[in-house]
Structure formats: C-alpha cells, structure tokens
Structure 1
Amino acid sequence: MSEAGERHASWLELFFDLVVVVAVAQMAHRLAHPTWADVALFVLLYYAVWSVWTTLTLYSNVLADRTRVRSMLIGMFGIAVMAASGHSWGAPLGLAAVAGFGLIASLWWLTLQYGVSAVPGAPERGLRAYVALPAHFAMTAGIIATAAGLGVVATRPAEHLHGGVGWVLGGGLAVYYAASTVLGLALGAERRWIWGWAVPSVVASLAVAAVSGLVAGWTVVVLLLAVALWRVRYRPRAGSSPSAPSAPSAPSAAPA
C-alpha cells in the first residue's frame, strides 16, 4: 500500500469533519417545515459548505503534516457562518459566534497540542485507569455542557443567562479544566502550570458562571474565551517535562 493510502486522519481533519456535520445538521432545520424557498436555500448553502469541505479535505490530504492550521480554521469559521445564516445577525450574535468558535477551537487546540488530558507534556501511558476513566468522563461531559450552553446563547445572545444556563456553560468548562488539573497532579505536571494556569482557569470559569445572570450572554462567552486563551498561552519551559508516575519497584531478592 502506498504511503498516502496508509495515512490516517489527523486531529485537525477530524475536528474539521465534526464542524461540517454540525453545520449541515443546523442547516437541515430549514427542512422541518419546508417551502420551495427553504429547499432552494438549503441546497445553495449545502453546496457552499460542500465546496469548502471537499477543497480543504483535498488540501490536507495532499500536504499532510504541512497543512496550515490557520487555513483550516478559517475554513471552519466560514462554514459556521454559513450554517448560522438563517439567524438575524447583529452585533451580539456576531460577537457570540466569533467568541464561541474561538472557545471550541481553543479546547480543540489543547487536545491537539497536549493529548486527551490537556496536560502539557503528560506521559499518559503511566496513568492509572481509575484516574484516567473518571477524568475522561468529566472532561467530555464538561465539553458537552459547554456546547449546550453555547447553543442557548446563540438563540438570545443579548439577554442575561438565567435558569442555570450560565452555570451549565461556565461550570462545564470548570469541570473540564478541573479534570485536566487532577490529571496534571497525577502525572506530576510542572507546578508552574498547575498554580499559574490550571487552577486559575477553574476558578475563573466558576467566577464567570457566578456573574452570568448579570451580563449579556455574548459577554459570558467572551469572558470564557479569555480564560481558554490563557490556557492556550502556556508554554513549557525549555527542558521541563512532567515526571511519569513511578511504577512500584520489584522486591529485592533475599540474601542467600
């Protein structure tokens, strides 16, 4: 088999495909009670999304590891804008859309850069299952809660978030960051990351959730994006790496 045939999809390509699936599902809502105008608009929008999707897929297949992340992210953002074209756009929705996309892209970047644990340089092979599995459950649940909260903000971006929506949105991120912090502690992550990035991101997300009922929804998303960008901004010191959890040493042989 050729080298091209053996190549597997990257995290970037998988994330791109996920964006396309969500975008098409959003556009398909037009067909719930369709008119001919709705069908025509769906076909037009889907053709635009399909064109971007196939073009960037071919681009990433040809360039492989040399694919430019910025180009792919711009394509994803364009697809997201087309999927949301059925809404009445204004400044609040535009700000919420840009910040929401940036927030999801930041979480994706943390996973792409550092692995499922989102811990810089984490040697995940030494992680015990009783720590890894609950943490993975918490992180994925946190992302789902965040996505659900973003969906509510998209419907009324200028309104305050009441009824616990702000806690679902900010609390979901706090759970994600907290689980990552626990994994960092278990993996012996750098203390500078633990106390300067990991723990503050948990506290900041909870603080945003606490004030979410006092500010507009788009403001909440922007504040949470700022927290996520703080996590993304972290750069490990040269030569520093987490120490893997030490395996129990074998008992020494008894003297003859």
Structure 2
Amino acid sequence: MATMSGGNAAGRHASWLELFFDLVVVAAVMQLAHRLHGEPTPADVGLFVLLYLAVWLAWSSFTLYANVAGDRTSQRSMLAAMAGIAVLAAAVPEATEQRVVVFVVAYVVVRVLGARTMRRTGTNLTAWPTVQGLLGVVPWLASIWVEPPGRYVLWTVGVAIDLLLPLGARAEARVPRFAQRMIEAQARREGRPVEDFAARVPKPARVDLAHLAERLGLFMIIVLGEAVLQVVTTAAELPWTGRLVAVAGLGFVVLVGMWWHLFRYGLIASEGRSLPVSVAMPLHFVTTVSITAVAVGLGGIVAHPEHVPAADGWLLCGGVAGWFLAGVLGGLPDPANRRWLLAAGLPGIAVPIALAAVGRSLPGPAFTGVLVVLMAWQWAYSTRQEQRRSRLVPVG
C-alpha cells in the first residue's frame, strides 16, 4: 500500500470534518514540540515520544473509523473526539506534573469513544485492531495511582500493547473459538440453526487505501507546515544576521527535500510497492515524530546560528535519521529497493548521527549545510533512478 505517497486520484477524498479534526490534533503536536524547547534531556525526549504516541493513537482511531464508515461517519462522535483531543493538547505542557490526571483521563475517554464508535459500524477492523481494542489503555488508567518512574513504565507498556497488537492481526476476520462455541450453544438452546446468528458476528472492515493514503499524507503536510512555522517564528523574533538567514534558508531546503521525496516517491524511491496497514501506520508515526523533532532542532539552531546547541543538533539530526529510517523499514520487504537502501537510505541514517556526534564545533550554516547535501544526494539518486526506469520502459 503506497500510503506514504501523496494524492488520491479517484474515489473518496478527505472531508472538511476530517481536515478540521487533523488541525485539532496538530494543535496537540505543537504543544508537544514546545516540551522539547531549551535543553531537553534524554528522559524528556522519551516522555515526548510517549505523549506523542498517545496523541497519535487517539488520532489514528478516528482516522481509521472515518475511513471505514465513509458517508456514515458520525459527526457527533468526531466532534466529541475533537473536544477530547483539545483537552489533551491543553494538558500536554503539564502532562507529567499537575495535569497528568487530566491528560490520562482525556486519552482514555477518546480511545473508549473511538472503540465504541467503531463497533457501531458492525465491522471488525483486523488490519488495525487497536482501534477496537482497549487493553492498551488499562496501564494508562492504572498509572494515575502510580508515581514516576513507575507511571512512565505503565505508559510504555500501554503503547507497546497498542503497537504490537496489529502485528498479529489476520488478513481476514475470524470468529474466536470461544465466541463460536457460545453461538452454537445459544443456537442449541433456542433450537435454531447457527446461521441465524451470523448477523451478530462483526464483518471484516474494508479499508479504503486511497483515502487512508490521503489522510496520512495530509497529516504529514500539516506537520511539515508546523516545522516551517517554527523556523519563521524564531527568525521573526531575532535580528537578521548573515548566519541566521543562512541557517533559516538551508533549513527550509531540508524541509523541502523531505516534502519532495515523501510526496513524489513515498518514503522509498520505488514503484509498485505495497505496505499493509499494520506496517504503514507505525511508519507514519515514525515519520511525523521525526518531522516534529526536525522542526524543534531547526528552530533552536536558527536562534543560535553561531554555535549549534547540543540538544538542538541531536534533535535535528535525529529527526532526519528517523525520517530515513522509516524509509529503510518500509523498503526492506522488497528486494528491488536494495540499491536505494544502500545508496541513500542507510547513509541517510548514518550521516546525521555522525554529524550530531562530531559536528558540534561547526557553525550553524555549515552544520545545516551537511544535511542539505544529504538531501541533494537522495534527490539526485532518486531522479537518476527514475530516468533510468523510464528509459527501460518499452515504447509502443
């Protein structure tokens, strides 16, 4: 499934309600980004990822619900979820301190609402059962009565359950053995054939892949826009020195490179690939959280163009490396991607990590310029491969 490429040439498109929903979620992403400003520690980054996962899981529940429900999407449920996510967003700055109960309760309420709303469709989304499964929210609810660091361990367990659950999903829905026995027992008691109870069994949900690709792409576009906003906002508040202008301009080129590759090729420079929903959704999270890290890192370096703050350097480079990592993971199943993985994917991970580790003595423009060169290389390689494939296509 080419969920990481842009466009929905045919079929249903995202509704205005879905776009409004995404904007509310991005408000939470912006609040999450603010948690990384300053000098975040590795523990701060870990909490950022956990909180981001909670917001993303809430978003994915209703994104997939609207995808399956289509024209039958409940406006009331979507608006209620938006209100819950707005509370999540407002609680994010103090989500690990004074407002931890507010954040946890809002998250649990949105997830429960998503599961109940999905069940009303009468279908079972086996491609991403986390939408209807609530086992992962139990550790979150229990964490209210547990002090850190135990609380954060419970949060980690909760998101791990939700992310691992789809990996064991079957392509087709099957009635669990215990449920089948209950149906057969009730049929015997009432003296009726088992087939009369078939309507009570949820049918497999059909995912509109083109619509899902558009929703995932729109979310990434909005997060990229938030990254541009970080750079613009920082530059607007400071005197415009030559180095500041250079870092801001080069940072914009990095973001353009990420956008260009995402929406021309998806995460990987190959054609005809197909990723299952259970793989595409986690890759979407890795991509969006990486873009958010890039946004924060760029903002910090624009603010200090003479020398690169260590934390901002790691955020920027870690975000770029995570962005390439998503492409590598998405391309691993297809042997045809082997050249791209070796020539662009793996260098895209290694170069930023090396830059963050040894390049802190570089001024901001030189530091950011290395990433521009990396983006230019992946652009040149992908373009060359595209031209090569076009020459191999027979004419007539």
Q: State the Cα deviation string for residues 164-217 of structure 1 (Å, max 9, x = none).
A: 221111011101101101111123343221111111111111111112422223
Q: Would you say 1:225 and 2:372 are equivalent positions?
A: yes
**Aligned partner of 1:181: which letter?**
V
User: 8 Å contact 1:197–1:231 — kept in the other structure?
Assistant: yes
**Aligned partner of 2:272: which letter?**
P
Q: State the Cα deviation string for residues 87-131 of structure 1 (Å, max 9, x = none).
A: 21111101101100100000000012112xx2113434x312332
Once residues 151 and 128 of structure 1 are traced to their aligned partners in structure 2, the CA distance between those partners, rounded to angstroms, is 35
In the other structure, the counterpart of 2:277 is 129
| Aligned ranges 1:49-64 → 2 under 5 Å | none
Q: Would you say 1:120 and 2:269 are equivalent positions?
A: yes
Q: State the Cα deviation string for residues 25-63 of structure 1 (Å, max 9, x = none).
A: 67xxxxxxxxxxxxxxxxxxxxxxxxxxxxxxxxxxxxx
Counterpart selection for 2:308 from 126, 150, 160 = 160
**Aligned partner of 1:133: which letter?**
M
Structure 1 gaps of 5+ residues are 1-9, 27-79, 243-256
User: 8 Å contact 1:114–1:121 — kept in the other structure?
Assistant: yes
**Aligned partner of 2:351: which letter?**
A
In the other structure, the counterpart of 1:208 is 355
User: 8 Å contact 1:156–1:217 — kept in the other structure?
Assistant: yes
Once residues 227 and 356 of structure 2 are traced to their aligned partners in structure 1, the CA distance between those partners, rounded to angstroms, is 27
Secondary structure of the corresponding residue to residue 291 of structure 2: helix
Counterpart selection for 1:145 from 293, 306, 311 = 293
Distance 1:175 1:93, change over 3 A: same
Once residues 170 and 211 of structure 1 are traced to their aligned partners in structure 2, the CA distance between those partners, rounded to angstroms, is 12
C-alpha RMSD over aligned residues: 3.5
Once residues 211 and 199 of structure 1 are traced to their aligned partners in structure 2, the CA distance between those partners, rounded to angstroms, is 18
Q: Would you say 1:91 and 2:242 are equivalent positions?
A: yes
Distance 1:113 1:24, change over 3 A: closer
Secondary structure of the corresponding residue to residue 239 of structure 2: coil
Distance 1:19 1:181, change over 3 A: closer
Q: State the Cα deviation string for residues 141-185 of structure 1 (Å, max 9, x = none).
A: 1111011100101111112322x2211110111011011011111
| Aligned ranges 1:180-219 → 2 under 5 Å | 180-219=327-366
Task: Please state how far the C-alpha of 1:239 moved relative to its aligned partner.
Answer: 8.5
User: 8 Å contact 1:122–1:184 — kept in the other structure?
Assistant: no
Once residues 209 and 18 of structure 1 are traced to their aligned partners in structure 2, the CA distance between those partners, rounded to angstroms, is 26
Task: Please state how far the C-alpha of 1:18 moved relative to its aligned partner.
Answer: 5.5
Once residues 82 and 178 of structure 1 are traced to their aligned partners in structure 2, the CA distance between those partners, rounded to angstroms, is 28
Task: Please state how far the C-alpha of 1:231 moved relative to its aligned partner.
Answer: 1.1
**Aligned partner of 2:319: which letter?**
G
Query: How many residues in Structure 1 have an aligned counterpart in Structure 2?
Result: 173
Once residues 85 and 239 of structure 1 are traced to their aligned partners in structure 2, the CA distance between those partners, rounded to angstroms, is 39
- % same residue: 31
Distance 1:192 1:24, change over 3 A: closer
Once residues 190 and 240 of structure 1 are traced to their aligned partners in structure 2, the CA distance between those partners, rounded to angstroms, is 16
Distance 1:136 1:19, change over 3 A: closer
Distance 1:20 1:230, change over 3 A: closer
Bigger radius of gyration: 2
TM-score (normalizing by structure 1): 0.57
TM-score (normalizing by structure 2): 0.38
Once residues 190 and 101 of structure 1 are traced to their aligned partners in structure 2, the CA distance between those partners, rounded to angstroms, is 28
Structure 2 gaps of 5+ residues are 1-213, 390-396
User: 8 Å contact 2:223–2:288 — kept in the other structure?
Assistant: no
User: 8 Å contact 2:235–2:244 — kept in the other structure?
Assistant: no
